[in-house]
Amino acid sequence: MRTRPLKVALLGCGVVGSEVARIMTTHADDLAARIGAPVELAGVAVRRPSKVRAGIPPELITTDATALVKRGDIDVVVEVIGGIEPARTLITTAFEHGASVVSANKALLAQEGQSLYAAAEQHGRDLYYEAAVAGAIPLIRPLRESLAGDKVNRVLGIVNGTTNFILDKMDTSGAGYSEALDEATALGYAEADPTADVEGFDAAAKAAILAGIAFHTRVRLDDVYREGMTEVTAADFASAKRMGCTIKLLAICERAADGGSVTARVHPAMIPLSHPLASVRGAYNAVFVEADAAGQLMFYGPGAGGSPTASAVLGDLVAVCRNRLNEATGPGESAYTQLPVSPMGDVVTRYHISLDVADKPGVLAQVATVFAEHGVSIDTVRQQGKDGEASLVVVTHRAPDAALSGTVEALRKLDTVRGVASIMRVEGE
C-alpha cells in the first residue's frame, strides 16, 4: 500500500457533506485498504465558518473555496454545495489544477454536463456523479458501465422521495394534496419551499442525466418536458383505483421505436398496481430499466438523505482514487449517437380524462365524435348522471400527445361539456 495519502477537498459541509466527512474519518482504515492508499481530508469549504462541525478539525475549515481547489496538491474535489454557480467555476478550476471531481449536483450536470465532461477530458481527470440521481441507489454506474454493451430502450422511474411520499400518503390515507404536503414537511421530507420537488424540477434534472447516459446522446434540462403534481386530487386516486392503478410522479426516458430520436419527460401518471413501481412506498425511489439483452431491471432504495447520498459519494470517491493511483480515468461522456430529443407532442401516450357534462341524450356521441375527429381511439367510457349533471370518464388508446391535447381543447368548446375535471396520462403497460 502506498503510504502517501490522497488528498480530498470537500466543498460544502451540510447534511451530505458532514456525513461524507464523518465516514471518511470513521472508516479511514477500510477506505485505505480498498483504495490502496490512505485518504486525507485536506480542506473543507463552507459559507459559515463559525458553525461547530463535529469531527472536523477547525484548521481544515475555510471560506475560500477557490483557493482550496487551486492548491495543486488536491487529488479529488468532492462538490456537494449544489446550484450552478459557484459550483461550475469551482469544478472547472479543480480540473485545471489537476484534481478529479466527485459531484452530487444534479442541476449543474443536467444543464452543463457537456462542458464539464469536456473540461475533465481536456485535463485528463475524472468526473463522477452517482449521488446526483436517486441517492444511494447504484444507477449511474450500472447504466454507463454494466449496461455499456447493451441497448437501453426505456428508463422509467420514481426519482424524488418527497413527491412519492406525498402521493403515497394521498393513496393510502385518502388525504388531500395540502394535507399530505404538510405531513411531509413536518417529517422533514419536504423543504420549506417544496417547489423544486412538487413542480418536477428536481426529477427533470435527473431525467436529463439518465437519458443522456442511457441513450448515449446529449439531453439538457431544457429538453425535458415537465409537469408538477400539485393538481393531483383525491378524486384522481379514486379514478385510478377503479382502473386498478395508482398515481406516481414519473421520470420517463424513451428511445423512439425507429431508434431515430429520444424523449425525456416528467409528469404524474396512473400506473397499474401490477407494475413494480406501483409498490414503491414512502420516500423511497425506484428506477425501472428496459434493455435489449438484459431485459427488465429494477433499482430500488432510499433516494435522498445525508447517509444514503454520502454512501454514493464515497463509492465514487473510492473509484476515482483508485484511478488516480493507476494513473487512469474512468468512462467519460458517451454522446456518439447524437440523437435528437423529440417534443412532447410527438410522444405516444394514453390519457385518462374526466369530464363534467350535461346529463342528456347525445352527449356521449358528441364527445366520441371529437375523439374521432382528432384520430384518437377510445378504450373505455364510464358515465354517471344525476339531477341534470353527469361525470364522463374516458380512457384512450395510445396516440400522439399532440392529438390528445387537441382533443381536450376541442372538448372544452362543446356546449354540453361543463368542464374538464382532470387529465392524466396512463403509463407502465
Catalytically active residues, by annotation: 206
Q: What is the largest distance, in Å, between two alpha-carbon atoms of the chain?
A: 86
Residue type, 118: A
